[in-house]
Amino acid sequence: MDFLGIIQILDSALRLATPLLFACLAGLFSERAGIFDIGLEGKILASAFLSAAFAFYTGNVWLGLLAGIVASLMLSAIHGLASITFRGNQLISGVAINFLASGITVVVGEAWFGLGGRTPSLMGGARFAEITLPFADAIRGMPVIGPIYSDLLSGHSILVYFGLLCVPLTWWVLYRTRFGLRLRAVGENPAAVDTAGVSVVGLRYAAVMICGVLCGFAGAYLATALSAGFVKEMSAGRGFIALAALIFAKWRPWYALGATFLFGLLDAFGNRYQSLDLFGVDIPTQFMQALPYILTVVILAGFVGRAIPPRAGGKPYVKER
Amino acid sequence: MTDSVMPKWADVALVPFINLALALFVSGIVVALIGKDPFEALYILVNGSVGSAYGWGYTLFYTTNFIFTGLGVAVAFHARLFNIGGEGQAALGGLGVALVLLYVPWPHWTIAMLAASVGAAFFGAAWAAIPAYLQATRGSHIVITTIMFNFIASALMVYLLSRVLLVPGAGGSPETARFAEAVHLPSAYEIAPWLGFSRSTPLNVSFFLAIAACIFVWLLIWRTRLGYEIRAFGHSEPAALYAGISPTRITMVSMLLSGGLIGLMAVNAVMGEAERLVIDPVQGAGFVGIAVALMGRSHPVGVFLAALLFGALYQGGGELTFEVNGMTREIILVIQALVILFTGALDNMVRSPIENLFATTRRRPASPEPTTPLEPGGHPERGKAEP
């Protein structure tokens, strides 16, 4: 593989990692506040559908993005209602949300467009255009730096850059603001937060809603930037890979960037090579596809660095008995 | 749940019924919102699933699948373990069935079915074993690991079917060779043609295996020492530990049982229907098992009834696609999601008002003071009910 080949793979990895990154940060907010969310997948799917549908009807991708976020937020509200207000099982709620999304997107999609659950292809202003960074054309000819800047960093949709920006933003919110401190505390010891006079319910709803917004970005990116329109089940397990990345990153923002990029890279490799010949051993593409999940299990098993989730994660908070 | 103020019938019948009614009601709204007639849809659903012998043949075939997966999830629920890995375990069960039937020349279907059941249960249990072991000894969250194992299983099956078990000249679709004619399971048409089943009905003798599995689970959970230990562990891990019950052992055993039961689904789907191993023989049945176990309150009788309901929904949903223009079978997924949501996650929303209702009607004649302290994790509203 030559240098340009590597650049192409990395470029593809960056595109594929972006929805994972959004979803991973979404899960990070939710789980840091003590709400497990295995419904990331469903929220991505719902957002992908509604953003594509609205972008198609209005011809404006920004309205599509907004609709996608609204779709994701609605599912977040259900999750919040079930797991915060009614203190139900958060895992079961997540499972239900995934099914709800994969059912309702096809049912409504078929009713609106009659294309077997697809939306029509998006064109022009209904998609996020690729942005050329300043001077990208001017320095393309330079060795090494030229291709890295012009081909790898430049030429992505605005959501890719926003996703990258979300990483320091998340870090700043979580570790440098009062809200972030409380949010992390509510995931570790909600009783302490409650004693301090801060609303556990309010904080957890806030976290779940932030999670919804970020999943909305992930879905909209998938349908209106990465591809041109919605297809049935287009999230294709990305919500679960994001969950895996979140564990891989041990619930920390910068590591989330690393983990999602790694999983994006695996995806890019799998797309490019049907099988990979590594040191004389033929590695099937299915192994590459399964690798994120295998790595996550290994991490979870604690053989390579232990992943310890937020302590109050998954437990509904009961104020008094 | 046992110390509920509700009478038992309300817990096992009324609450699930209200949950189902809510799920159907909301799905009806969805159908109405996309401009279709919900009552017509419901009629087609019911008529398509249980209105003819043809429909029953498919309904009971799906029911058989869902009984196995529902029982598997239910056994894990009793140990308070959430086995979400049914898809993977059932797929591996299919692999077990295929290996047993492809590489051994069985003389008769009865022996073959026995061997295939062992193979299916063994492979299903094996696929549940690693997450179970990691949960029991390393504390890895079983929900996450079983989800991961679903994806690993799916990749593994694609690999095996497209590279290893693929028959030459299968026309490009990754599938194994057809099983021998001798191991063909008698279908409902061959057993009882007078009932009017069509020749192509997928319903087969595995249905009886599913009923046997229900009885087995009932005996196991409520009539054996192991079942007692599983339930005790599920109710309170510290208490079980104090009573000398090993958490590692119970976690392992209940997950192995769970995976094994789910794996048995393949006897019906792979050996009974497809008669070869194809890509994704499970078709979501592993996930339906979650809804079935929740709705059936983890009791074999409940699981049977809930599996029948979902079997009818899956068959009727297929009919909807043909009968109503612009309607797809995915409406079933919506109903399934809502059932899971209302029975599993929003249970308190339905339960609390009913409990309060029973509490007020019951306390009206005399107002007995609550003598027992509320259990931890109980509903705070319960103690506050007006005397």
Where exactly are the structural domains of chain A? 3-129+142-236
From A233's Cα to the closest Cα of chain B, the distance in A is: 11
Enumerate the residues of chain B whose CB falls inside 8 A of the CB of residue A239. none
Q: Give the amino acid at B380.
A: P
pLDDT tops 70 at residue B169: no
Q: Give residues 36 to 75 of A whose Cβ lies within 8 Å of B.
A: 38
Minimum mean pLDDT range among A125-139, B78-92, B197-211, B234-248? A125-139
The answer to whether the CB atoms of A114 and B326 lie below 8 A apart is: yes
Enumerate the residues of chain A whose CB falls inside 8 A of the CB of residue B30. 104, 107-108
User: Is residue B332 a part of any domain in this protein?
Assistant: no
Whether ipTM exceeds 0.90: no
- Structural domains counted in chain B: 1
Provide the CATH number for the domain around residue B263: 1.10.3470
Query: Does the beta carbon of A90 lie under 8 angstroms from any beta carbon of chain B?
Result: yes
- The SS3 of residue A276 is strand
- Provide the pLDDT for residue B381: 44
User: Is residue B357 a part of any domain in this protein?
Assistant: no
| Mean pLDDT along residues B322-328 | 79
| Mean pLDDT along residues B136-146 | 87
- The SS3 of residue A62 is helix
- Provide the pLDDT for residue A304: 62
The answer to whether the CB atoms of B326 and A318 lie below 8 A apart is: no
When pLDDT is cut at 50, 70 and 90, the band that residue B295 belongs to is confident
Q: Give residues 175 to 234 of A whose Cβ lies within 8 Å of B.
A: none
Query: Does the beta carbon of B252 lie under 8 angstroms from any beta carbon of chain A?
Result: no
When pLDDT is cut at 50, 70 and 90, the band that residue B165 belongs to is confident
As a whole number of angstroms, the distance between CA B71 and CA B303 comes to 7
Enumerate the residues of chain A whose CB falls inside 8 A of the CB of residue B377. 318
pLDDT averaged over consecutive 10-residue blocks of chain A (321 residues)?
81 92 95 92 94 91 94 95 89 91 91 84 81 76 76 84 94 94 92 90 94 95 90 88 87 92 86 69 80 84 72 79 54
Minimum mean pLDDT range among B35-49, B165-179, B308-322? B165-179
The most confident of A5-19, B55-69, B177-191, by mean pLDDT: B55-69
pLDDT tops 60 at residue B379: no
Enumerate the residues of chain B whose CB falls inside 8 A of the CB of residue A80. none
| pLDDT tens digits for range B12-29 | 788 888 888 998 899 899
Token pair, residue A13, equals: 């990895």
Between B59 and A303, name the one with better pLDDT.
Answer: B59
- Provide the pLDDT for residue B373: 43
Enumerate the residues of chain A whose CB falls inside 8 A of the CB of residue B156. 286, 290
- Provide the pLDDT for residue B157: 92
| pLDDT tens digits for range A262-299 | 989 888 887 777 666 666 677 787 888 888 888 888 87
- Provide the pLDDT for residue A311: 83
Instruction: Please name the member of B34, B147, B348 whose beta carbon is closest to the beta carbon of A240.
Output: B147
| Mean pLDDT along residues B59-72 | 96
When pLDDT is cut at 50, 70 and 90, the band that residue B93 belongs to is very high
User: Is residue B93 a part of any domain in this protein?
Assistant: yes
Between B299 and A142, name the one with better pLDDT.
Answer: B299
User: Is residue B41 a part of any domain in this protein?
Assistant: no
Between A4 and B270, name the one with better pLDDT.
Answer: B270
| Mean pLDDT along residues B247-276 | 94
Token pair, residue B39, equals: 């009552």
In a mutational test of the A interface, the residue from B19, B135, B152, B159 whose CB has the highest number of chain A CBs within 10 Å is B152
The answer to whether the CB atoms of A301 and B138 lie below 8 A apart is: yes
Q: Give residues 261 to 290 of B whose Cβ lies within 8 Å of A.
A: 287, 290
Average pLDDT in chain B = 86
| pLDDT tens digits for range B107-132 | 999 999 999 999 999 999 999 999 99
Instruction: Please name the member of B149, B326, B340 whose beta carbon is closest to the beta carbon of A99.
Output: B340
Enumerate the residues of chain A whose CB falls inside 8 A of the CB of residue B341. 78, 82, 92-93, 96-97, 100
From B264's Cα to the closest Cα of chain A, the distance in A is: 23
The answer to whether the CB atoms of B333 and A290 lie below 8 A apart is: no
- Provide the pLDDT for residue B2: 41
pLDDT tops 70 at residue B1: no
Domain range enclosing B122: 63-310
Nearest CA in chain A to B336: A99
Query: Does the beta carbon of B344 lie under 8 angstroms from any beta carbon of chain A?
Result: yes
Between B301 and B327, name the one with better pLDDT.
Answer: B301
Between A14 and B163, name the one with better pLDDT.
Answer: A14
